[in-house]
Chain A
Amino acid sequence: MTASLLGIHDARVALGGRDVLRGINLQVSEGEVMIIVGPSGCGKSTLLRAIAGLQRLRSGHIQLDSETLSGDGIHLPPQHRHTGMVFQGLALFPHLTVKANVGFGLAGSSRAERERRVNEELVSVGLEGLGDRYPHQLSGGQQQRVAIARSLVMRPRLLLMDEPFSDLDSTTRAEVRVEVLRIIREHGVTAVIVSHDREDAYHLGDRIAVMDRGRIARVARADEVRMEWEAHPFST
Chain B
Amino acid sequence: MGQGQSPARVGFWAISLLALVLAAPLLVVLTAPWHTAAPEWAHVSVAILPVAARETGLLLLIALCTAWLIALPSAWLVATTEFRGRRLVSWALVLPLAMPTYIAAYTFAGLLGPTGSISNWSAAHLGVRPDIVHLPGLGVVLGLVLFPYVYLPARAAFAHGMTTQREAAALLGATGLRAFLRIGVPLARPALAAGSLLLAMEVINDFGAAKHFGVRTLTTGLFRSWGGLYDLGSALRIGMVLIGGMALLLWIERHLRRNRSFQTDQVPTERIRLRGAKSWLATAWCMLILFFTAGLPLASIVADVFQPGSSWLDAGLGQALTNSLLVAAGAALLVLSIAILLTYRERHGRRADLAVRAANLGYAIPGAVIAVGAMAIAGPLDRSGWHGPVLIGSLGLLLYAYAARFLAVGTQPLFGALRSQPRALDESALVLGASAWRVFTRINLPLLRPALLAAAMLVAIDVMKELPLTLILRPFNFETLSTAAYRSASIEQLREASRPALLIVLCAVPPVLLLNRLLQRQRP
Interface residues of A (CB under 8 A from B): 49, 52-56, 75, 77-81, 83-85, 87-89, 91, 93-95, 104-105, 107-108, 150-151, 154
* Contact partner, B432, options A75, A88, A94, A154, Cβ 8 Å: A154
Report chain A residues within 8 Å CB of B442.
93, 104
B447 touches A54 (CB 8 A): no
- Give B30-81 interface residues, CB cut-off 8 Å to A: none
Nearest CB of A to B291, in Å: 45
* Contact partner, A105, options B424, B433, B446, Cβ 8 Å: B433
Nearest CB of B to A68, in Å: 15
What are 12 residue pairs bridging A and B, where the CB atoms are less than 8 Å apart in the complex?
A55-B3, A75-B4, A75-B6, A77-B430, A78-B427, A79-B432, A79-B434, A87-B424, A87-B427, A93-B442, A104-B442, A107-B433
- Give B1-30 interface residues, CB cut-off 8 Å to A: 1-6
In the docked arrangement, what's the CA distance between A114 and B446, Å? 22
* Contact partner, A54, options B1, B422, B435, Cβ 8 Å: B1
Report chain A residues within 8 Å CB of B427.
52, 54, 78, 85, 87, 91
In the docked arrangement, what's the CA distance between A105 and B2, Å? 21
In the docked arrangement, what's the CA distance between A47 and B381, Å? 56
- Number of interchain pairs (Cβ within 8 Å): 78
* Contact partner, B424, options A79, A89, A95, Cβ 8 Å: A89
* Contact partner, A87, options B6, B428, B435, Cβ 8 Å: B428
In the docked arrangement, what's the CA distance between A83 and B430, Å? 11
Report chain A residues within 8 Å CB of B446.
95
A89 touches B1 (CB 8 A): no
What 7 A-B pairs have minimum CB-CB distances, sorted nearest first? A105-B432, A91-B424, A91-B428, A87-B424, A79-B433, A55-B2, A85-B431
Q: Which B residue sits closest to A55, measured CB to CB?
A: B2
With A87-B424, A87-B427, A91-B422 as known contacts, state yes or no: A150 contacts B432, CB within 8 Å: yes
With A49-B2, A55-B3 as known contacts, state yes or no: A104 contacts B434, CB within 8 Å: yes
Report chain A residues within 8 Å CB of B506.
none
Q: Looking at A84, A85, A151, which has the most chain B CB atoms within 10 Å of its CB?
A: A85
Report chain A residues within 8 Å CB of B435.
79
In the docked arrangement, what's the CA distance between A24 and B424, Å? 24
B2 touches A79 (CB 8 A): no
In the docked arrangement, what's the CA distance between A113 and B256, Å? 61
B92 at interface (Cβ–Cβ under 8 A)? Answer: no
In the docked arrangement, what's the CA distance between A84 and B424, Å? 13
B429 at interface (Cβ–Cβ under 8 A)? Answer: yes
B267 at interface (Cβ–Cβ under 8 A)? Answer: no
Report chain A residues within 8 Å CB of B4.
53-56, 75, 77-78
B434 touches A85 (CB 8 A): no
In the docked arrangement, what's the CA distance between A104 and B435, Å? 12
Report chain B residues within 8 Å CB of A55.
2-4
With A89-B424, A95-B446, A104-B442 as known contacts, state yes or no: A78 contacts B3, CB within 8 Å: no
Nearest CB of A to B468, in Å: 41
Report chain B residues within 8 Å CB of A87.
424, 427-428
B313 at interface (Cβ–Cβ under 8 A)? Answer: no
Contact mask for chain B residues 441-454; partner A; CB cutoff 8 A; 1 contact, 0 none:
01100110000000
In the docked arrangement, what's the CA distance between A85 and B5, Å? 17
